[in-house]
Amino acid sequence: MAETARSGFAGERTAPVAGAAGSSGGANPSGGGRAGPERTILHCDMNAFFASVEQEANPALRGRPLAVGGGGPRSVVCTASYEARAWGVKTGMTAGQARRQCPDLIFVPPDFEKYTDTCRRLVEIYREVTPCVECFSVDEAFLDATALVAAGHVPEALARRIKERIRGEVGLRCSIGIAPNKILAKLASDLQKPDGLVRVRPEDVPRIVWPLPVNALCGIGPRLAVAFSRMGVETLGQLAAFPVGLLRERFGIYGEYLHEWSAGRDRAPVIPSEEAGPPVSIGHSVTLERDVGERERQVQVLLRLSEMVGRRARAAGLAGRTLAVTFRYPDFETFSRHRSFGDPVDDSSLIFEVARSVLAATPLRAPVRLLGIRLSKLEPAGRQATLFPEAVRRRALVQAMDRVNDRYGEFSLRWGAAGTEGVWG
């Protein structure tokens, strides 16, 4: 559990407060339904993170409409600055669509090393508040401040100090939601962007949460929102009032979770990132510069994706037993095909051979605009030791290629195949 704040980073103090009453249904919204102090969870969400990092690094970009992503007409916007959003530019738009919305839009290629480094700096600030920090993504984190509040600290004061330090030390703005559980804290951080600070207490759920549309809840995307609309469910209040048995019949156990979350209840603990364990999958996908129907060109893209996935797996010391190849048509219909390995694999060429066989066995009704590869059922590499000379030599070759690519850049050495010029987005 969280400890008290370190000297020099304490918020305003007040007398300890008793836990508030639970939300509808009698369950403790802090989680678990157990008696005890109400939890205090903070959700820190960086505003337009990639774009804000680029604007902080390059003052010439500040105040200008900016999109992070490839500049090709079919490349996708990873994120847009608030100046660009004012023109209607949204994450997920193609570059061509974004430029039509905002002719003066500036595109900057993503620099994930820079974003990861910024994330590390943010986490250092969070951990000076509490060691109980869960990185939800590169630009989001949950902090469990329950022990701090029990010791007399004011949640809003802690949040303001976090925001001040991030602004002063990293040069960025963030929105923070405060609530008795993770699902409400995340929802609260979305209510007042950018640079917001919102607290949602259990008694606030009917007034603040229930009037919101269902897709305001993390986990409900456009398709699920449409499905709920067809059931006459438009708001979170209507979802909370919907018979849970019918939701379970329609959506399985996930329907039960959504019912709990819409009522403001969430049992999930904040799990410190170092305790979260290894990733469950490793994958890469690419939106192509043009729709590609030629199998040989699709094979070339799969080769490059296989190299990227294999290198990430080896760098993490992981190997996978299942491979998924994802296809997306020009009308955005997306589907995946899976194949299992006999032994766990991290060798890029073996990943590619299976990906190519999946492609060969998959009839496509149209050219594709996106291809992706994902390795899952991961486990530590090296469990399946081998004494076969050919396998040992191959492993040594792969390691040598990795060392060359680490030193001279990605794809300096790669398995033999033609390049992907003209199709890589």
- Tell me which residues are annotated as active site: 140
The 10 Å Cβ neighbour count of residue 290 is 15
275 burial (CB, 10 Å; 0-12 / 13-18 / 19+) is exposed
- Phi-psi label, residue 152: left if phi above 0, alpha if psi -120 to 50, beta otherwise: left
Q: 367-403 burial, b if ≥16 CB within 10 A, otherwise e?
A: ebbbbbbbbbebeebeeeeeeeeeeeeeeeebeebbe
Check if the beta carbon of residue 351 is closer than 8 Å to that of residue 373.
yes
Give the separation between CA 397 and CA 391, rounded to whole angstroms: 10
DSSP state string for 304-324: HHHHHHHHHHHHHTEEEEEEE
Rounded Cα–Cα distance for residues 41 and 275 (Å): 18
Which two structure tokens, joined as six digits, stand for 211? Answer: 């009037």
Neighbour tally for 279: CB within 10 Å: 14
Q: Cα–Cα distance between 227 and 250 in angstroms, integer?
A: 10
Among residues 267, 263, 268, the alpha carbon closest in space to that of 25 is found at 263
Task: Collapse the DSSP code of 343 into the 3-class scheme (helix H, G, I; strand E, B; otherwise coil) and give the result.
Answer: strand
Other CB atoms within a 10 A radius of the CB of residue 335 amount to 10
- Residue 366 corresponds to which amino acid? A
Question: Quick one: how far is CA 416 from the chain centroid?
Answer: 33
